[in-house]
Each structure stands twice: as structure tokens, then as C-alpha cells.
């Protein structure tokens, strides 16, 4: 992974000093509340319903064990001993003291971490595939590009007061695991149709929130060296023309829609022409420097057959292990290794939450089994990306003891869920209790596996942090005259065939939600043909059968 040099370190240290001074002046009454607001936001600090919330950047979801230990220590010392993985692969602390935040940031800086631009109307943490560098369907590792974008966007002087927040995601594989269609800018590494040279397909104006939109292609193939000038040109058009009169219409998706993608592209070309081939054009030296941090670790060489047959024997006898192996581990680029998902979606705690002890234990396991690296996912889980097949059983036993081996990755109970009304001051409704109720209702593994892969995404408000629009089943908390209700949508999808879910009908009361979900699933089970998963069936039969059943029963 990327390692700071003296300059990277100096920049985060100077950022801590800057923010320490700002906090000091704010507490001394020298900075007005409204002026302090964007300063603290761009250092990750929200003021939430119960306490401030600090969002710590985990650039493109990559951590080393020393960083995870530091996060454990921080959550114990400055918080209540647990943290939350967000849908942008970041980590959130729910109870820090405003006055102590500069100290927390200073602690983070000691392990090459920060909270820069994790909130506010600026360029946020760039996200990518949690299986980057190890996925079997990968064309090119997207992480060097994420790091190049991280450096370009960090403390960018021109784009710190944008109309609204701005999110970039990069995908380098066949399956899009980074939801690039739902980002302000989505980048996909693609071969040139003629030469085969890899460049970027560029999408602009995707996003969730109040007005969900799938991104539009503005460039089918961009030569790699032009990446930063092109991004800069997009941002420049947006900074000048994006709406600032209404925060709900301020995202770039609204601008692209209003201008039309042709007019937007034309303006973009003009801006780009002025800076193309200028100093921000990437050099071969920089591209290979970035790539040099993401080389393969020292994998051992295995004879696949030997490891394979031993594993098969264990799988045949250990049913619990086999369940976990099948759902929570994935094939790896290198023979003899598997990708291991650690589920943070067990029953009994909020989806995506992790305790200080668990963090320390995971750091230990990463050192022992996976070259000391950990990844966070936008589905709010963790990944150990490089585990030897022969050590899976041992690792599974340890994970099981830690409560991190719930065998549900990609299945019903692996829900994406925002913090919701329990924590967030923006929320219209709670989301965690809904997730818990659904998890309790569907605790039967056989039933869950029979349903097949299923994304249930829950957001407590329109801002859609829980990505409800792109869940196969999306659940959105709404406020009706002070009462919490839940709107259900079906058919959303985050992949390359990305689609926005359609609303089923009138919203439901909280206590009805497990029943509503069960009803939807029964409809699917009754209508599916062999080999169809939920989304296939939905696409074939449409919304109506689900609607009829849902409301027939609910009445």
C-alpha cells in the first residue's frame, strides 16, 4: 500500500496544526459558528443528534494493521470503544469531544492517516473495489489511480467550496464493485477498442440522494496521462455552473441534466482544451511511482491440487465452515490463496459496527494470515485479501470466536444500513432497528441461502447514505407528521447494469417491515424459475405482482 514520504507526512501534520488553531479560535469565540462549520466538516467533524461524529478517511478502503490498532486505541480512549464502517469505506466515531478532535487527528497522523475532506462541499474520499489487486476478473489494479486522485484532490485550492459534495469512484474489473454509476464521477479502466491500450471510460453525474441518477458517459476512452487535467476540467465546469441556490439541486447530476450531456461535454472540452498537456499531465515517472506501492506481496508458491484436496475434505465434514467458505470467501488471482470477507453484519449490533477489541484482533489476524493489510468495503464489512487456502479453517475458527464469521456476505442479512435516526441529525427515521428486526426474522440460513444473493439497503433519509436506490430491495425512512414510515423500492442494482429501484407503493409502519420483506420474498420464491435470483425475477415479472401481494396482505 501507499507509504507517505516526508512531504505527505508534513502536509498532514500541518493540517493538524491548522485545525488545532481553528478549533482554538472557535472555542475562544473568534470564529463564528457558521464560519467554523465548513472548516470542521472538511476535517471530518459533524455535529450529530447526540454528539459530534468524526469521519476518518480510509483512502480507497485500505488499512495496515498498525493503523487499525491505532483506530482501536482511539475509539477506546476518545470514544465508547467502537466505531462504524461507512458506505464510503471510511470509519466513523460517534462520540468524540469537539475540543479533543485535534488530538485525535494528531494521533491519526502518526500512522499516516487523517480526516481531510471526509465531509463538506469538496472532493471526498475516492472509493474503489474492495478486491482491487486480487480479484480474478480484474483488468488493472485501480489503487494507484485512486492514490493519484487522492493526492490531486487533497487540499485542492480551487475546489474546497463547491456547490455540494463531490464523490469519485474507480473500477478496474469486469464486475463493478465500486458503484461507479452512482458517483459524481465514475472511472472505469477499459481497453481502447482498437489498440487495446488501457485508459479510462469517464462517467459524470451519477448519484443517489433525493434525485437518483445513473451517470452519463462523457468520454469513452481517455488516455491515462490526461486523467488529472480531465478531472480538473470537470470540476471547473461544476464549480462555476453548478447551482448554489438550492442544496437539493446542487449536485453535478442536476447540472448535467439541466444542460444536457452534450452541452455539458462541450463546455468540458473547452475547459479541458485550456489545460490539456499542461503541467498536471501525468508523467510516466509518477504513474510508475504510484504503481510501485501496489505490487504483489511475497506470495508462496503452491501446488493447487494438494491444497485443494485437503480443503475439500474439510469442507465435506465441517458444514459450518463450508457455509462460511462458500459465502464469505472468494477466488484469488494467485493459486493457493482466497479472499476472505469478515462480516460486520451479525445479529445483535448495528450493521457495520466494530469494537476496539475486534479491531485489535483483526489487526492480529491480518499480520498472521494476510500480509498485515485490511480493507473496508462500501457494504460495511472488512476483507483480508490474501489468505492461504490451507489456513482458512484456522482463520475461520478465530473469526467465529470473534463474531466476525457470520456466513452471509452478499445475502439477505448482509444489509447496507446508514446510522439513521439513532445517531444522525439529518435522518427522518431510524434505520438500525429496521435492520435488526429483519435480521431477527430471517435467521434461518437455509432459507437465506435458498433466496440467493440479495442486497437490502436501508437509508434513514433522502440523503441515501444507505444506498437504498441501488438495493435489490431498498428501504427509505420517511417522516409522516412526526411518525416514522418506510418506503420500499424494488429492482435497484449497483453493478454495470446499474438501475434505480422503483417505489412499491405507499410506505409502511416500522413494525410491519419484517413482514413486508417476507411478503416480497415469498412473491419472488413463488414466481422464480430455476436459476433466477431476485433481480432476474423482478426484471422478468415487473413490480405489479410484488405490489399486489404486499398490499393485499398489509391491508
Partner 1 sequence: MPKLIKDGAVVEDSWQGSLLDLDEFNAVAANGTATGVVLQPDQPPSALEADLAGIEVIAINFPVFTDGRGFSYARELRQRGYRGEIRAVGGFIRDQLGYLQRCGFDAFEFADDSSLEECLPSLREFSESYQADMIQAEPLFRRR
User: Rule CB under 8 A: which residues touch partner 1?
Assistant: 5, 7, 10-11, 14-15, 17-18, 21-22, 31, 35, 38-39, 121, 148, 151-152, 154-162, 228, 236, 239-240, 244, 274-275, 278-280, 282-283, 285-286, 289
Q: Closest distance between partner 1 and the C-beta of residue 225, in Å?
A: 12
Q: Which is nearer to partner 1, 281 or 347 (CB)?
A: 281
Q: Which is nearer to partner 1, 121 or 125 (CB)?
A: 121
Beta bridge partners of 219: 202
The CA angle 114-87-367, to the nearest 5 degrees, is: 60
Interatomic CA distance for residues 110 and 399, integer angstroms: 28
Cell numbers at 284, concatenated: 510516466
Q: Which is nearer to partner 1, 156 or 368 (CB)?
A: 156
Interatomic CA distance for residues 519 and 536, integer angstroms: 18
Query: Looking up cell 473469526, which residue turns up?
Result: 399
DSSP helix/strand/coil, 83: strand
Pairing of strands 483-490, 502-503: antiparallel
Burial of 529 (0-12, 13-18, 19+ CB in 10 A): exposed
Q: Which is nearer to partner 1, 159 or 524 (CB)?
A: 159
Sign of the Cα torsion 105, 111, 115, 116 reads positive
Q: Which is nearer to partner 1, 285 or 300 (CB)?
A: 285
Number of other residues whose CB lies within 10 A of the CB of residue 448: 19
Q: Closest distance between partner 1 and the C-beta of residue 150, in Å?
A: 9
Q: Which is nearer to partner 1, 147 or 484 (CB)?
A: 147
Q: Per residue in 119-132, is it b (16+ CB within 10 Å) or e — as a string?
A: bbbbbbbbbbbbbb
Task: List the one residue out of 48, 87, 45 whose CA is nearest residue 416.
Answer: 87
DSSP helix/strand/coil, 47: strand
Interatomic CA distance for residues 24 and 19, integer angstroms: 8
Q: Closest distance between partner 1 and the C-beta of residue 484, in Å?
A: 32
Q: Closest distance between partner 1 and the C-beta of residue 461, in Å?
A: 22
Q: Per residue in 137-171, is it b (16+ CB within 10 Å) or e — as a string?
A: ebebbbbbbbbbbbbbbbbbeebeebbbbbbbbbb
Q: Which is nearer to partner 1, 80 or 156 (CB)?
A: 156
192-198: long-range contacts at Cβ-Cβ below 8 A with a sequence spacing of 24 or more? 192/221, 193/221, 197/223, 198/139, 198/140, 198/224
Beta bridge partners of 83: 354
Q: Which is nearer to partner 1, 35 or 548 (CB)?
A: 35
**Strand ranges for 228-357 from DSSP E:** 329-331, 337-342, 353-355
Q: Which is nearer to partner 1, 5 or 530 (CB)?
A: 5
Q: Closest distance between partner 1 and the C-beta of residue 145, in Å?
A: 13
Beta bridge partners of 216: 204
Q: Closest distance between partner 1 and the C-beta of residue 401, in Å?
A: 43
Q: Which is nearer to partner 1, 200 or 238 (CB)?
A: 238
Q: Which is nearer to partner 1, 111 or 241 (CB)?
A: 241
Amino acid at each position: 500500500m501507499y507509504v507517505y514520504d516526508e512531504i505527505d507526512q508534513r502536509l498532514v501534520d500541518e493540517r493538524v496544526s491548522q485545525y488545532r488553531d481553528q478549533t482554538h479560535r472557535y472555542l475562544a469565540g473568534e470564529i463564528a459558528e457558521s464560519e467554523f462549520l465548513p472548516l470542521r466538516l472538511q476535517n471530518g467533524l459533524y455535529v450529530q443528534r447526540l454528539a459530534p461524529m468524526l469521519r476518518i478517511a480510509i483512502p480507497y478502503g485500505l488499512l495496515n494493521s498498525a493503523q487499525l490498532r491505532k483506530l482501536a486505541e482511539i475509539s477506546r480512549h476518545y470514544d465508547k470503544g467502537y466505531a462504524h464502517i461507512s458506505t464510503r469505506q471510511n470509519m466513523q466515531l460517534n462520540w468524540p469531544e469537539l475540543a479533543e478532535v485535534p488530538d485525535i487527528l494528531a494521533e491519526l497522523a502518526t500512522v499516516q492517516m487523517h480526516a481531510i475532506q471526509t465531509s463538506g462541499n469538496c472532493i471526498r474520499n475516492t472509493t474503489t473495489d474492495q478486491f482491487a489487486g486480487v480479484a480474478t476478473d480484474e483488468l488493472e489494479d485501480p489503487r494507484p489511480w485512486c492514490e493519484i486522485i487522492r493526492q490531486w484532490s487533497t487540499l485542492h485550492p480551487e475546489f474546497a467550496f463547491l456547490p455540494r459534495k463531490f464523490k469519485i469512484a474507480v473500477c478496474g474489473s469486469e464486475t463493478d464493485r465500486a458503484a461507479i454509476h452512482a458517483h459524481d464521477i465514475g472511472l472505469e479502466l477499459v481497453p481502447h477498442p482498437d489498440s487495446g491500450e488501457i485508459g479510462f471510460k469517464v462517467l459524470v453525474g451519477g448519484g443517489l440522494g433525493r434525485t437518483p441518477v445513473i451517470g452519463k458517459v462523457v468520454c469513452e476512452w481517455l488516455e491515462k496521462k490526461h486523467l488529472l487535467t480531465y478531472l480538473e476540467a470537470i470540476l471547473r465546469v461544476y464549480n462555476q455552473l453548478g447551482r448554489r441556490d438550492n442544496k437539493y439541486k446542487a449536485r453535478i447530476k442536476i447540472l448535467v441534466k439541466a444542460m444536457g450531456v452534450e452541452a455539458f461535454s462541450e463546455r468540458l472540452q473547452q475547459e479541458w482544451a485550456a489545460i490539456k498537456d499542461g503541467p498536471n499531465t501525468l508523467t510516466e515517472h509518477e504513474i510508475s511511482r504510484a504503481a510501485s506501492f501496489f505490487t504483489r506481496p511475497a506470495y508462496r508458491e503452491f501446488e493447487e491440487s494438494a491444497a485443494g484436496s485437503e480443503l475439500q475434505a474439510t469442507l465435506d465434514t465441517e458444514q459450518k465452515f463450508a457455509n462460511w467458505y462458500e459465502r464469505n470467501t472468494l477466488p484469488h488471482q494467485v493459486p493457493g490463496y482466497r479472499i476472505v470477507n469478515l462480516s460486520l453484519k451479525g445479529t445483535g449490533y448495528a450493521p457495520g459496527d466494530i469494537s476496539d477489541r475486534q479491531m485489535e484482533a483483526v489487526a492480529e489476524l491480518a499480520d498472521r494470515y494476510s500480509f498485515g493489510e485490511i480493507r473496508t468495503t462500501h457494504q460495511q464489512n472488512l476483507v483480508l485479501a490474501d489468505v492461504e487456502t490451507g489456513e482458512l479453517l484456522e482463520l475461520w475458527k478465530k473469526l467465529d470466536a470473534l463474531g466476525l464469521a457470520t456466513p452471509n456476505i452478499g445475502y439477505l442479512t448482509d444489509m447496507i444500513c446508514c446510522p439513521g435516526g439513532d445517531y444522525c441529525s439529518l435522518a427522518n427515521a431510524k434505520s438500525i432497528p429496521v435492520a435488526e428486526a429483519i435480521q431477527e426474522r430471517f435467521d434461518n440460513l437455509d432459507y437465506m441461502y435458498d433466496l440467493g444473493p440479495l442486497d437490502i439497503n436501508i437509508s434513514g433519509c433522502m440523503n441515501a447514505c444507505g444506498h437504498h436506490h441501488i438495493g435489490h430491495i431498498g428501504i427509505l425512512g420517511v417522516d409522516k407528521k412526526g411518525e416514522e414510515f418506510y418506503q420500499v423500492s424494488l429492482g435497484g442494482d449497483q453493478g454495470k447494469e446499474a438501475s434505480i429501484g422503483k417505489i412499491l407503493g405507499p410506505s409502511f409502519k416500522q413494525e410491519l417491515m419484517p413482514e413486508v420483506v417476507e411478503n416480497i420474498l415469498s412473491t419472488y420464491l413463488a414466481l422464480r424459475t430455476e436459476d433466477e435470483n431476485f433481480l432476474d425475477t423482478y426484471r422478468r415479472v415487473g413490480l405489479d405482482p410484488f405490489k399486489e401481494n404486499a398490499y393485499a396482505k398489509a391491508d
